[in-house]
Structures are given as C-alpha cells and as structure tokens.
Amino acid sequence: MAFTPQNALVWCEIPVTDLDKAVAFYSTAFNYEMSIDNSGPNPMAFLPFNPTVPATAGHLYPGKPPAKGTGPTVHLAVPDTAEDAAARVKAAGGEVLSDAIEIPAGRFIYAMDPDGNSIGLFQGTK
C-alpha cells in the first residue's frame, strides 16, 4: 500500500552565505518576523510556522547555495499580493524572474534571493 501523508513536504532548508543578510532579506521581502537561533549545533533562522498545526516549515542556515537558479524552488506565502512582494524582493536585493502565474490555489511569481536560491512568492486564494 502506498504511503499517503497529509503533506509530503515537511521541511525545507535554504542555504545562505550570510545569515544576517538573509534574515534581513526574507524579513523585508515577506514581512516575516525572523531572528537567528543559536541554540543548536548550527545557527539557523526559522521561517514562520505554527508549531501546534502539522504543516510544512523550514529555516535558513549558513551553507553553500546551489549555482544560481539550479536548486529547487521553495514557494513562500506573502502577506499581500505577489506583485507587492516582488517589489519588496527587488528593493531588498533579490531578482524577480516572472510575471504572476495563475493556478487554482492562487498565484505566484518566480524570484531569486540574493544568494541565487529560487523562491516563489505565493499569494493564495482567499
């Protein structure tokens, strides 16, 4: 029998070359409240999540990002429109790669963070 979890993706890790700068970028681009956690063996900055609800989450960590645009794309929820988030991505030093793409669950814009990690600016349907 095939395994059918509630969510197949449970965690993502986004490697960054400068954790302080990456926290500033993601905090600005997505209006997230983030801070660096030094309690484990490596520093990391958690992406926002609700620990009481089983869901997908992740963190930033000091590491070697893949070559620009070659890694997986992590789609992240935006607080407003995908276009507003795209403007913040540009202002914070990232790169916007597409116009908004409509899908049944909402819409998204492809972008890259300053380290070249592929990110989606996801605006869900309300």
Domain spans of the chain, in order of start? 11-124
Q: What is the CA radius of gyration of the chain?
A: 15
Q: What's the CA dihedral at 60, 66, 67, 70 to 10 degrees? A: -100
pLDDT at residue 43, rounded to an integer: 96
Start-to-end CA distance of the chain, whole Å, equals: 35
User: What tokens appear for 123 in the block?
Assistant: 């605006």
pLDDT at residue 2, rounded to an integer: 87
59: β partners: 13, 46
Residue bearing the bigger pLDDT, 42 or 6: 42
- Sign of the CA dihedral 14, 79, 28, 40? negative
Write down the pTM of the prediction. Answer: 0.88
pLDDT at 88 over 90: yes
Cβ(48)–Cβ(79) below 8 Å: no
CATH architecture type of domain 11-124: Roll (3.10)
What value does the mean pLDDT of the chain take? 92
Query: What is the C-alpha to C-alpha distance for residues 1 and 21, in angstroms, rounded to an integer?
Result: 45
Cβ(37)–Cβ(44) below 8 Å: yes
pLDDT at 54 over 80: no
